[in-house]
Every structure is written in C-alpha cells, then in structure tokens.
Amino acid sequence: MRRPPPPDTIGLQLREVDPRELGAVARLGSEDVLRALRLVSRGRIFDLDPGRFPGMPQWEGHPPFLLTTYRSPAGTRVQQDLDLLDGRRNGVDYRFTSELLVTSMHAGAHLDALCHASVAGEWHGGFRARDEVGDFGALRSDAATIPPIVAPGALLDVAGHRGVEHLPPGEQIEADELAEVAAARRVQPGGVVLVRTGAMSCWPDPSAYAEAARAGIGLGAARYLVEELGAVLVGADTPAVEHQPSDTPDNPHPVHTYLLHDRGVHQLEYLWLEELARAKADAFAFVCLPLKVSGATASMVRPVAIV
C-alpha cells in the first residue's frame, strides 16, 4: 500500500497524477479556452458565488461554517505576547486582526471532487476508499487534482422557462424539458452547463432555501446533459444538483452516482445564478479556479461567467 507523506509535508509535495483522477475535465484543452473567450463581447463579469458566513444555509451532513476572530488589536495590546508588537519597538502602535476558519469545503459555492461520491466503497477510476483515504483526507481524486477550468458555459434557466420564481420543492427536472430549454439557447457541446431552479431567490433564509432547494435534475436529465450535450461539468443553484428526496428506491443520490462515480463529471453546487438569469446571459465564458487543497473532497470556489 502506498504510504501518505508525513503530516508536515501534506500539500507541499508534487506528485504525479493518475489520469483516472481527472475525470471529464481532462477533455478540456486550449481550443475550449479559445471557444470560451469567443463568447465574450461585452466584458461583463457575473459573480456566481453567494458568499459564506456563520449561520448560512448548509446541508446537515457537513460541519457548519464557523469563522471567529483569532487575534485582535485589543487582545495583542492587553496580552503583550508578541515581540513584534512590543511597545518599545512599536511607536506607531501597529496592530492586526486575524481569524480562525473551521468549515467543510462544501460550504457555499463549491466543486465536488471525484473522491466525494463512492459506491460500494469505490469512487470513479476504480479507487477504493479503504486504500485511498487516510487521516489527512483522500489520497486520490481530491480537490488538488482538479485543474483550473476555463470553458464555454451555458445557463439552462428552467425556472425562467416556466415563468416562476422557483420550482416547487422536490420537483424533478426531466430530460425533455432541459432539451426544450437548451434548444432556445446557444448551448455549445463539451462545456459547462448550469441549471437554474430559482432556489437562490430564497437565499439566505435557511428554512426557505432548504425547502426550495429540494428541486433539481433527475437521472434522465443528467444523462441528457452528459450524453447529448457533452457536459464536462454540471452545476446548479442547489446543494445537491439533483432533486430530493430521490425516487430511486435503492439510491439516495442517483445523479451524484451517475455524474461523479460513473462518468467522472464534477458537480458545482450552491451557485448564485439570479443575476445571470435576469441578464438573460445564456452563453458565456466560464472560469473556475479550484483551491489546491490536498485531501479535500471538494473545493470552495468563486466561479464567474463573462459575457
């Protein structure tokens, strides 16, 4: 069994990445970057990140987002425990504030790594959790293996197509409806597809958002996005992309299983798509830069759409 690096070198080592760890985004190349840039005509940037803050809506299976002040001007002045700020050498009374952040990487807009979803103990590429998850996170297919993503992007605004603020809770979006929405838009195959349910119209109210965000795509719709539109990345304005609860008796997350496990297609969740929809920006250059955090099962991101 391959041994993990010692804790003090985690994140500092450059290792060779097995091609199986990359998934569908490995198909993106320089021509896809150029295709994306050709979609830019106005130079307007849409921020797709709703932000993060204590008390924010989050799925109950992940730890809550917590940020607290770690050091403060008042604290260092009273405690006098830092030589750098010693009064004899600090006539200008320089002070600083720093924070402590405790969170899952699944807080707010985030990109699921392929190691996030396993079936029978195995995730995409044939890697087994019992062999590839150590005390410091996943050793394969983690967030650090996800490359920077610049690709043609498309918005499938299902809520806008129906003329509603948001879809009914638990609503399943079918493939034929996505095909109908895509037919009216400049969807380029082989890029990034973002699906809007309208759930973010309830943000940041935790209870209202949690209820609205149960809507999402079904398994047939996921297959359409990958097999017909050639999506290498699928995102939505909800915590799961797929509708909840699942109507598949033996699988609580059939879309996660299909996208992440079966096809190696990363998922983007908690996307802020409201402004993009209001501007009717159906086609755009999509830019997403994952954090290179070794062992993480996802990366918090601040993706943008440029038109």
What does the block give as tokens for 90? 């600090």
Tell me: pLDDT of 100 over 50: yes
Residue 182 φ then ψ, to 5°? -65, -30
Residue 41 φ then ψ, to 5°? -130, -25
- Quote the Cα angle for 189-192-198, to 5°: 120
Q: What is the mean pLDDT of residues 205-232?
A: 97
The residue ranges of every structural domain in the chain are 7-52+105-306, 66-102
Alpha carbon distance 264, 279 (integer Å):
31
Alpha carbon distance 273, 288 (integer Å):
15
CB 197 within 8 A of CB 164: no
pLDDT tens for each residue of 286-300: 999 999 999 999 999
CB 130 within 8 A of CB 23: no
CATH topology for 7-52+105-306 is: Glucose Oxidase; domain 1 (3.50.30)
What does the block give as tokens for 43? 């130079």
pLDDT attached to residue 188: 72
First to last CA, the chain: 48
pLDDT attached to residue 12: 40
